Amino acid sequence: MHKSIRPNFDIQMHGLIQVESIQRQTMKEEAMPQEHDSQETTDISQFFSESYTVSKRQLGIVLLLVGVAGFIGILAIDILDVGREGGIGPAQQAALAILAIVAIVGALLIPLGDKPA
């Protein structure tokens, strides 16, 4: 009797785990509908391989560097080009704002690790 219940219980548990697993998978797919390429990796040593994809961390690092370098570069125009009049104009202000946003977004992406960008 005991023996006959135990396997049934296992089967039921196994079934529940399977259902949960399918539900979780479905929820994940619904929440993230974009298709994944098969066998993706974010290992940078495989940069030019068929399976490499850029991670959120890598994208974050690039955006942070672009944002910071661009921001400094635009400020440097006024410092280096001393003959120029007018200071930081509205176009430069807009560019500084955009680059600051780029840098912040980049910094926020870095903790997301190896998830595909």
Size of the site for other proteins (CB under 8 A): 35
51 vs 64: CA distance, rounded Å:
25
For residues 76 and 93, give the distance between their C-alpha atoms in angstroms, rounded to a whole number.
Answer: 13
Task: Identify which range of 12-20, 68-76, 78-86, 102-110 contacts other proteins by CB under 8 A.
Answer: 102-110
> Can residue 115 be called a binding residue for other proteins (CB under 8 A)?
yes
We find the least distance from the C-beta atom of residue 48 to other proteins, in angstroms, to be 5
Under the criterion CB under 8 A, does residue 7 sit at the interface with other proteins? no
Report, in Å, the least distance between residue 76 CB and other proteins. Answer: 20
Number of other residues whose CB lies within 10 A of the CB of residue 59: 17
Return the residues of window 19-58 that contact other proteins according to CB under 8 A. 26-28, 30-37, 47-54, 56
- Of residues 54 and 72, the one with the C-beta less far from other proteins: 54
d(CA 42, CA 59): 11
Provide the binding-site residues for other proteins, judged by CB under 8 A: 26-28, 30-37, 47-54, 56, 59, 89-91, 94, 98, 105, 108-109, 111-113, 115-117
